[in-house]
Amino acid sequence: MKRIYWRPQGISRNALLIIASCALAAMFIVEQFRERTTEAYVHQMLEASRLARQAMEVVRAERERRRIPLDAIADPAKSGLIGVSISNVTSDTGNLLAKQTTINPNWAAVAVDLLKQAGVAEGDTVAVGVSGSFPAINVCVFAALTTLRLEPIVISSASASQWGANHPKLLWLDMERTLERKKVFPFRAVATSLGGVEDRALGMSEDGISELNAAIGRSKLPMIEPANYAESVVERMAIYRKHAKAAPIRAYINVGGSTSSVGTKRAKFEFRPGLNLRAPPKAAVIDSVMARFLDQGIPVIHFLQIDRMAVRFGLPLQPQEMPPVGTGQVFLQRRYNPMLAGTALAAVIGSLFLFIRSGRGRMALQTQAARKDHGQLEPTV
């Protein structure tokens, strides 16, 4: 059965088009000309960024102590957090541009902002999964967790992709242990794994696996040794629940493209970089730590596609020197201009009154013949 709707014949399609165009133009102007105001929690963002800068300096000093030379071309900022092109412990290919873009302590402010958006509060338990692929982001996430006084449960993978913490003498587990020993951060991982393919470093050489095992031995952390990818996901979830005890996990942070965390390569880029509140359909059907947390209604913060995130938060791409703390659009929030929004609303209401209530606009657009028929109704099915 068809329902019949009616509209006044006197309101022409041109008038309706003008009203719609006015509404769209008003919405565009209000969105484009939002004011930038300082975030309410900017002091925490600054504190986290300062702590991240301190941590980066500690890592660089440790690298110098171990006599691992810096690569001035790959690491123009001389951070000590850029690894090598290839080594025995390299798990995957990596994007040097993305690695260089992470050399910025203000990523800690991004982490604070995302955690605030996720709704966490002081004392909340947060699950974290990191690998050695983005050591600078790991440092910034740790700084944010420390600043917000959260209770993190961290699982770290030993291996790293190209240009990450992939120097055999200074893997992420070594950096993490140094930062705790120097009392920069009050925590470190509760467990570790080889990382790489299926979380078992499949495809890596025997020498590489031996070096990873040596780093795990130095860390003195319990090791996850899954038989396959699916088992790795199950074991990681069990570790998070065990260490959370009775406390609810309020958010999950993933840094990098760890297979067990994001799923297979098919799912890696399906998740939105930044805050995710639900799993994308293509990623939801692939078992992973991220998909499981999202299925439980737990927000997930995903640090991947770094160049896109940098543009979104106003951080520089490939900085040639370490950016100062407190720089970047991340410290500002775009809010609607109430005066501009009010003017836009008045314009839309005015167009509705002009073309519908007063009739003057309609009369200006209608032909002489249409004016004679004004007021009649025509059916619209």
364: tokens are 């200006």
pTM: 0.80
> What's the mean pLDDT when you consider all of the chain?
87
Q: Which residue has the higher pLDDT, 261 or 338?
A: 261
Predicted pLDDT of residue 369: 41
Quote the domain boundaries for residue 357.
5-34+336-380
- Band the pLDDT of 357: cuts 50, 70, 90: low
Q: What is the mean pLDDT of residues 204-225?
A: 95
143 with 65, same domain? yes
373 with 271, same domain? no
260: tokens are 């067990």
354: tokens are 């002009």
In the chain, the percentage of residues whose pLDDT exceeds 70 is 82
342 with 250, same domain? no
H or E, element range at 187: none
Q: 97 CB contacts (<8 Å, ≥6 apart)? A: 307, 317, 318
290 with 366, same domain? no
194 with 209, same domain? yes
Per-residue pLDDT at 302 exceeds 60: yes
Average the pLDDT over each of 62-66, 182-186, 274-278, 349-353 and give the range with the smallest value: 349-353
Q: Which residue has the higher pLDDT, 114 or 381?
A: 114
Per-residue pLDDT at 279 exceeds 90: no
Q: Which residue has the higher pLDDT, 354 or 28?
A: 28
Q: What is the mean pLDDT of residues 325-344?
A: 77
Ranked by mean pLDDT, the top range of 57-66, 250-259, 361-370 is 57-66
Q: What is the mean pLDDT of residues 328-343?
A: 74
Predicted pLDDT of residue 269: 75
238 with 219, same domain? yes
Per-residue pLDDT at 367 exceeds 60: no
Q: What is the mean pLDDT of residues 329-354?
A: 73
177 with 247, same domain? yes
Q: What is the mean pLDDT of residues 45-50?
A: 97
255 with 376, same domain? no
Q: What is the mean pLDDT of residues 313-327?
A: 95
Q: How far is CA 139 from CA 34, 52, 114, 197, 304, in A?
A: 32, 6, 16, 24, 15
284 with 360, same domain? no
Per-residue pLDDT at 117 exceeds 90: yes
| Helices marked H in the chain | 13-32, 42-65, 96-101, 107-118, 135-147, 172-181, 206-219, 229-244, 259-262, 265-268, 281-284, 289-295, 306-313, 338-352, 360-365, 368-372
Average the pLDDT over each of 242-251, 284-293, 335-344 and give the range with the smallest value: 335-344
Q: What is the mean pLDDT of residues 141-160?
A: 97
Predicted pLDDT of residue 22: 79
pLDDT tens digits along 228-243: 989 999 999 999 999 9
Could you tell me which residues are beta bridge partners of residue 171?
166
63 with 199, same domain? yes
**Contact yes or no for 274/309 (Cβ under 8 A):** yes
Q: What's the number of domains the chain is made of? A: 2
